[in-house]
A = this chain, B = another copy of it.
């Protein structure tokens, strides 16, 4: 059974900061946000975790393998190098969606995202090192079938973006509502979902749903592992198989 550890990364009191004392240059905000995300991606990644940029002021990490000390170090490193600070809240469970509900609730209980007095909260309890197993994390890596031939080389760049975005919107909502999964756009035509124990039939159903509601053809590779990196790398290889075999769903056999 999966046991996903998610970490909610929330910038402290960020909205007010962006307009104090007057609105800050947009290009600087964009640069700061995307570099902060890049740094978190490397920091969690050094321990085999994944981070998704989500809204940039609220990022979601899959953090199986990072303990409290690792989290504290990330928090300290941001404080030492950025003009903003971050709060971190950890949730765990068989359902990624529920784990995030738990993490969010704990942080909300400490104060608002725009509470000037709530800084650098560090909440929740990571999974004990001894109880970690090879099927703790299930990752599904989706992409669009022939996105380059169908969209990028055919439509104008914004229309391509709209189509891919619509497929993504349909997928993310369905995977959340029907399958307790958290799905994230990661660039190009790629979507990575963190899932509970889903079956190939579940993925087939989701793919059909996206085809029916958004008219976008997608396929998926699914991997498992003790860490997001292990599961995600399995999913990538499975997706390569799906491309080669022109199948819709490829799953790395559970270890």
Query: B188 and A15: CB pair below 8 A?
Result: yes
Query: A41 and B50: CB pair below 8 A?
Result: no
User: Is A131 part of the contact surface with B, judged by Cβ < 8 Å?
Assistant: no
Chain B residues with CB below 8 A from A189, complex form: 55
- A139 to chain B minimum Cβ distance, whole angstroms, is 9
Which residue of the partner chain, among B49, B82, B103, contacts A157 with CB atoms under 8 Å? Answer: B103
Which residue of the partner chain, among B112, B160, B172, contacts A162 with CB atoms under 8 Å? Answer: B172
Query: B34 and A53: CB pair below 8 A?
Result: yes
The majority secondary structure among interface residues of chain A is helix
Query: A27 and B50: CB pair below 8 A?
Result: yes
Copies of this chain present: 4
Query: B83 and A14: CB pair below 8 A?
Result: no
Per CB-CB distance, the 5 closest pairs between chain A and chain B, nearest first, are A27-B45, A56-B187, A23-B236, A28-B80, A104-B156
Q: Which residues of A contact B (CB under 8 A)?
A: 8, 10, 14-15, 18-19, 22-35, 37-39, 41-47, 49-51, 53-58, 60, 73, 76-77, 79-83, 97, 100-101, 103-105, 108, 112-114, 148, 152-162, 164-166, 169, 172-173, 176, 182, 186-189, 192, 229, 232-233, 236-237, 240
